[in-house]
Amino acid sequence: MKKQGLLILCFFSLFAFSIGFSANAQQARITGKVTDAGTGEGIPGASVLVKGTTRGMVSDLDGNFSIEASSTDVLVFSFIGYTTVEETVGTRTSINLTLSESVQGLNEVVVVGYGTQEKKEITSAVASIKAEDFNQGTVNDPRQLLQGKVAGLNISRPGGNPLLDELL
């Protein structure tokens, strides 16, 4: 009976050791550099994410990165204005990658007080003023450039304190 208990304990210890060893063996530190395909310069702040997880990081000022990943993981490289690229880690410990600029046309976007919207989706009135439409003459305050130029726009000074109004 003692031999069976010892055999089971030995088997369990070997099993636990092999699971821990294989888990550690699969993870590796992956390093590399993310560069711009057009200029060859490093892209600072490029996102490097292990696909399907929340593990990720951003590249440093020179475009260098370092992340823990297993051989079966897929790394997703992205940056605003560039095409997203996915790379399987495999047996590599170093991945140098170039990102190409994304050539997508943007629809006209209007900035509103509560966010941004495409022009075709706006349900409220929109006014546009060009520089040549600004009030001419002596202008002491940028608000004076717009005074009386947009229907329904009321520009007022905050407070009512003459000293404070002069500072603004």
Closest CA to 105 of 87, 85, 81, 124: 81
Comparison of pLDDT for 107 and 144, the residue scoring more: 144
Comparison of pLDDT for 40 and 11, the residue scoring more: 40
Hey, which CATH number is domain 2-99, 1.10.3720.10, 1.20.1050.10, 2.60.40.1120, 2.60.120.10? 2.60.40.1120
What is the predicted pLDDT for the residue at 80? 86
Is pLDDT at 9 greater than 50 in this prediction? Answer: no
Name the residue with tokens 């993310």: 34
Task: Give the highest mean pLDDT range of 113-117, 130-134, 140-144.
Answer: 130-134
Could you give the CA distance from residue 18 to residue 90 in angstroms, rounded to a whole number?
Answer: 21
- Average pLDDT on 108-114 reads 60
- CA-based R_g, the chain, Å: 30
**24-76 pLDDT, tens digit each:** 447 899 999 999 999 999 999 999 999 999 999 999 999 999 999 999 999 99
Domain ranges in the chain? 2-99, 125-167
Under DSSP, is residue 142 helix (H, G, I), strand (E, B) or coil? helix
Listed in order, strand segments (DSSP E) in 46-132 are 47-50, 56-58, 64-70, 74-78, 85-88, 94-99, 109-112, 115-118
